[in-house]
Structure 1
Amino acid sequence: MRNPTEASRSLVTIKDIASELGVSNATVSRALGDSPLISLATKERIRAKATEMGYVPDAIARMMRGEASNLVGFILPDVQNHFYSAMARALAENVATIGLQLVLAISEGNAERELRHVRELRRARARGIIITPVADMRSETAELLSAGQTVQLVRSHPLVQAASVSADDGEATRLSTSHLLSLGHRRIAYLGGGSEILDSGVRRLSGYRSAMASVAGTTTIERLTAPHPENGYQAAQALMAGSERPTALVLGSSQLALGALHAIREMGLRIPQDISLLSYDDPDWLQLCGPGISTIALPIQSMAHYAVSLIDAHYRPAGLPTPCLTEHAGTGTHYAFPVSLVERGSCSGPIEHAVSPIRT
């Protein structure tokens, strides 16, 4: 038999492992492939020896046999957005527990770039693709995604036949708006994403409208724009410069919140004395802004757990989260997970007659 140290100096094969253990090549192959024909004890013994000898599965050979690789693709729109960077880390940790490798690809909201990423992941025979789709998706992209193991994250595209996983977006903005209403605000503006964020934008706007409609005497003010800081800055400036400016602001994106906070500070307005503000998602910097910004915390870990479970049936960890909402549609099932309100110092009752002048 070969010495394990000697074997590790060159490429270790299934034949080498079989020779070390005195079993057949077929037994080793089946054990490493998690075949139900092999007992758990034998699988564990063979896997332990494979690890000891430094065995690396031949991905190219697997692909030539038509098998999926150990790659899981995550196509996200913006790596600088706290939510997506935190989600990437959570997904990577979860897929690693079942021996898979997460591969990141950034679409920047560009349909052509998204298509290139999907093509390459399919060529690499990725085990699955987790994607936050762009609104103007190419038909080829939708076909490739629908034909393979795909999970849509945050939002779903109507052309893609695949399950989707998100936070309970409607409840998030309903909770934000209801909290401000309970403090006495009646002129509350909503600043959120528009058609470019597909159904997630519809759900968030609906939650705001639902809460506002539940109380008499309210004034709805809606500003929909792509979730980038510069758009949040411009929208907040326009809102706060008007003669009938809102007393409170609900944000549907932390990126919009970043821009809105910049505008509010630049205009010399105080939080919460002049404007109450409630954000979306909970990046660390929200705690450092003024009195601390109240926000909606998103279920990043729960969403990551569930998305991976949809990609690979072997992933069934203890305590797999249960969706708070399951909706069945023609394009696939939508699973939503509960959100929570994080109260800090950015919300108080309206002070209608003590508003600071705007600096010019």
Structure 2
Amino acid sequence: MGAGRRVTTRDIAEQLNLAVSTVGRALAQDPRVSVETRHRVERKAAELGYVGNQAARMMRGVSSTVIGLLIPDVGNTFYSTAAHALAQCMSRQGYQVMLCETDDDRDNELAQVRGMIAGQVAGVIVVPTPNPRSESVRLLRQVPHVQFLRRHPALSEQWFGIDDRAVLRDATQHLRDLGHTRIAYLGGLSDLSTGRQRFTGYLDVVGPDHDPGMVAHIAPFCVEDARKELARLLDSPHPPTALVTASVRITEGVLEELTARRVAVPRELSVVGFGDERGFAWWGPGLTTMALPVHEVATACSTWLLERLREDGSTAPFTSSTTGYLRARGSTATPATPR
């Protein structure tokens, strides 16, 4: 076989002195082929580096075993953790994950969706951008798909996510219970379903008459904007005594700025973060944060989708919402008594 040439079933057949049809049946686990012959073929296929032609298999009526996964930011551990859990679950069931990143850009999202549909994926798990293009919506409707973490009304009614409103309500209430009244909020843009829900959870505690100067809506992946907004809050004439964040990246930006400015946490500022990254426990006095069961939600989402594919591709409305929980560490305390 020449360098760079794809290994075929004919190559395996010649090496084992078998008919090409026998090799094809063996690789397809056809019961007409003996177990011994199947094992011989599988060993030789692995030895030669044989990879099956998925397109050809599908032309013969064999279903696709590829699931598309569309996420905004693979560098965000919030999403990479979910992707890892989804891939593990799919792999155990004989499926593969095609991972695509949108960077929350709807044109990029459309390009990725087109590629998935062209690749004839069996289904799609999607974290939608704030405003998907109509063509993206039409294409996704051609395949079984489920929304993950975020929700957009134009897409399927199948959704797995986190009760974002409850998460931020609990975070803010923790600070209120400690005696804080000037509680600032740094969260994602309100045109995202998650951003709206998290901000609503904050308002549930501070009330509709809150100080708008205590609020900053930031692109959820922009660490630098989070740092700038925190600097604005800290340098204001009446700075907050406490702060809640509403995304992992924003939390990272806040911690960077607090470290750079050497803010004494929690004496000068109490902080409740979002998500529970490994480094959060080691930061300063240890970050009090809202821990989120991302791995569990991702596993439930992938399991549900695979069950639907195995049954009949049913698209009956289904939603699953899971809440987070407060992990109290050293970054929150009662407000300091003013001198």
Pairwise same-fold verdict (TM > 0.5): yes
1:345 is matched with which residue?
330
| Structure 1 runs not aligned, ≥5 long | 1-5, 30-41, 317-329, 355-360
2:65 is matched with which residue?
70
2:167 is matched with which residue?
172
Identity %: 30
The secondary structure found in structure 2 opposite 1:155 is coil
After superposition, what is the alpha-carbon deviation per residue over 1:216-243, rounded to whole angstroms, capped at 9, x for unaligned?
Answer: x976732111111011111111111111
Q: Provide the rounded CA distance (Å) in 2 between the counterparts of 1:105 and 1:69.
A: 18
Give the 3 Å change call, closer, same or farther, for CA 245–50 of structure 1 in structure 2. farther
2:233 is matched with which residue?
239
Contact 2:89–2:303 under 8 Å retained in 1: no
2:196 is matched with which residue?
202
Superposed counterparts of 1:80-99, under 5 Å: 80-99=75-94
Q: Provide the rounded CA distance (Å) in 1 between the counterparts of 2:316 and 2:186.
A: 29
Q: Provide the rounded CA distance (Å) in 1 between the counterparts of 2:194 and 2:319.
A: 11
Give the 3 Å change call, closer, same or farther, for CA 97–9 of structure 1 in structure 2. farther
Give the 3 Å change call, closer, same or farther, for CA 277–161 of structure 1 in structure 2. same
2:179 is matched with which residue?
184
Give 1:119 shift.
Answer: 0.7
The secondary structure found in structure 2 opposite 1:102 is strand
The secondary structure found in structure 2 opposite 1:74 is strand
Paired amino acid for 1:161: S
Give the 3 Å change call, closer, same or farther, for CA 353–72 of structure 1 in structure 2. same
Structure 2 residue 310 is matched with structure 1 residue 303 = no
Q: Provide the rounded CA distance (Å) in 2 between the counterparts of 1:174 and 1:115.
A: 34
Q: Provide the rounded CA distance (Å) in 1 between the counterparts of 2:241 and 2:185.
A: 11
Structure 2 residue 31 is matched with structure 1 residue 15 = no
1:326 is matched with which residue?
none
Task: Provide the aligned C-alpha RMSD in A.
Answer: 3.4
Give 1:164 shift.
Answer: 1.6
Give the 3 Å change call, closer, same or farther, for CA 141–19 of structure 1 in structure 2. closer
Contact 1:12–1:53 under 8 Å retained in 2: no
Contact 1:248–1:275 under 8 Å retained in 2: yes
1:289 to 280, 283, 286: 283
Paired amino acid for 1:236: L
Structure 2 residue 267 is matched with structure 1 residue 260 = no
Give the 3 Å change call, closer, same or farther, for CA 12–189 of structure 1 in structure 2. farther
Contact 1:98–1:314 under 8 Å retained in 2: no
2:217 to 224, 230, 233: 224
1:313 is matched with which residue?
307
After superposition, what is the alpha-carbon deviation per residue over 1:50-106, rounded to whole angstroms, capped at 9, x for unaligned?
Answer: 856758654122322465421111111111111111111111100001101112111
Residue-pair matches, total: 318
After superposition, what is the alpha-carbon deviation per residue over 1:97-137, rounded to whole angstroms, capped at 9, x for unaligned?
Answer: 11011121111111111111111111111111111111131
Point out the more displaced range, 246-255 or 305-314: 305-314
Give 1:163 shift.
Answer: 1.2
1:39 is matched with which residue?
none
Give the 3 Å change call, closer, same or farther, for CA 337–28 of structure 1 in structure 2. farther
After superposition, what is the alpha-carbon deviation per residue over 1:10-69, rounded to whole angstroms, capped at 9, x for unaligned?
Answer: 79977347689xxx997569xxxxxxxxxxxx9x99998885675865412232246542
After superposition, what is the alpha-carbon deviation per residue over 1:125-161, rounded to whole angstroms, capped at 9, x for unaligned?
Answer: 1111111111131100011112211111110122212
Contact 2:275–2:290 under 8 Å retained in 1: yes
The secondary structure found in structure 2 opposite 1:245 is coil
Q: Provide the rounded CA distance (Å) in 1 between the counterparts of 2:260 and 2:299.
A: 41
Q: Provide the rounded CA distance (Å) in 1 between the counterparts of 2:325 and 2:136.
A: 34
Q: Provide the rounded CA distance (Å) in 2 between the counterparts of 1:176 and 1:344.
A: 13
The secondary structure found in structure 2 opposite 1:75 is strand
Q: Provide the rounded CA distance (Å) in 1 between the counterparts of 2:96 and 2:19.
A: 21
Q: Provide the rounded CA distance (Å) in 1 between the counterparts of 2:182 and 2:242.
A: 7
TM-score, normalized by length of structure 2? 0.82
Contact 1:189–1:246 under 8 Å retained in 2: yes
Give 1:7 shift.
Answer: 5.5
After superposition, what is the alpha-carbon deviation per residue over 1:155-181, rounded to whole angstroms, capped at 9, x for unaligned?
Answer: 012221241211111111011111111
1:34 is matched with which residue?
none
Q: Provide the rounded CA distance (Å) in 1 between the counterparts of 2:255 and 2:43.
A: 54
After superposition, what is the alpha-carbon deviation per residue over 1:311-334, rounded to whole angstroms, capped at 9, x for unaligned?
Answer: 211799xxxxxxxxxxxxx99543
Q: Provide the rounded CA distance (Å) in 1 between the counterparts of 2:38 and 2:177.
A: 58
Contact 1:158–1:331 under 8 Å retained in 2: no
Contact 2:26–2:37 under 8 Å retained in 1: no
Point out the more displaced range, 261-270 or 124-133: 261-270
TM-score, normalized by length of structure 1? 0.78
